[in-house]
């Protein structure tokens, strides 16, 4: 069992033990995920680029906690919807590799046209 699957099983058990599955509709999980991403963004909002690259220990502890929250909600959402996160990420990366060939996009931030 992969670590991601182990985490999904643990999160599922956590929700089941508390009878919280009733609250874990995809809509609710997406909203909770968005809120946690907002809390992560807030940790970086007023940092300079240099500070963001090397956060002080207190900031890093808060960032680590928020990343844990984001990961938990994302994994729980994928579990509820039956989505294999790793497979989904590979599919998106395959698409990005087709849309952004290195010989045309190296060092460029321009947007690629949609795939046909």
pLDDT, average across residues 35-63 = 97
Residue 113: its pLDDT value, please? Answer: 85
For position 40, which CATH number holds?
Answer: 1.10.287.1080
pLDDT, average across residues 77-84 = 98
Residue 56: its pLDDT value, please? Answer: 96
pLDDT, average across residues 33-53 = 97
Claim to verify: residue 76 and residue 94 sit in the same structural domain: no
CB 43 within 8 A of CB 66: yes
For 2-19, how does the pLDDT look when each residue is reduced to its tens digit (9 = 90+)?
A: 999 999 999 999 999 999
The range of the structural domain enclosing residue 78 comes to 3-83
Claim to verify: residue 94 and residue 112 sit in the same structural domain: yes
For 68-78, how does the pLDDT look when each residue is reduced to its tens digit (9 = 90+)?
A: 999 999 999 99
Claim to verify: residue 28 and residue 57 sit in the same structural domain: yes
Residue 11: its pLDDT value, please? Answer: 98
pLDDT, average across residues 39-61 = 97
Based on the structure, what is the number of domains in the chain?
2
Claim to verify: residue 56 and residue 19 sit in the same structural domain: yes
pLDDT, average across residues 88-110 = 95
pLDDT, average across residues 21-43 = 98
Question: Exposure pattern of 38-55 as b/e (b: 16+ CB <10 Å)?
Answer: eebeebeeeeeeeeeeeb
* Residue 116 confidence (pLDDT) above 90: no
Q: What is the DSSP string of 19-69?
A: T-GGG--HHHHHHHHHHHHHHHHHHHTT--HHHHHS--HHHHHHHHHHHHH
């Amino acid at each position: 069992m992969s670590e991601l699957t182990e985490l999904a099983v643990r999160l599922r058990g956590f929700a089941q033990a508390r009878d919280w599955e009733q609250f874990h509709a995809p809509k609710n999980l997406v909203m909770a995920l968005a809120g946690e991403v907002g809390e992560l963004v807030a940790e970086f909002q007023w940092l300079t680029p240099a500070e963001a690259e090397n956060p002080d220990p207190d900031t890093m502890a808060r960032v680590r906690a928020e990343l844990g929250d984001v990961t938990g909600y994302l994994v729980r959402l994928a579990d509820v919807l039956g989505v294999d996160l790793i497979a989904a990420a590979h599919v998106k990366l395959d698409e990005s590799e087709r849309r952004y060939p290195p010989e045309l996009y190296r060092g460029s931030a321009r947007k690629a046209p949609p795939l046909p």
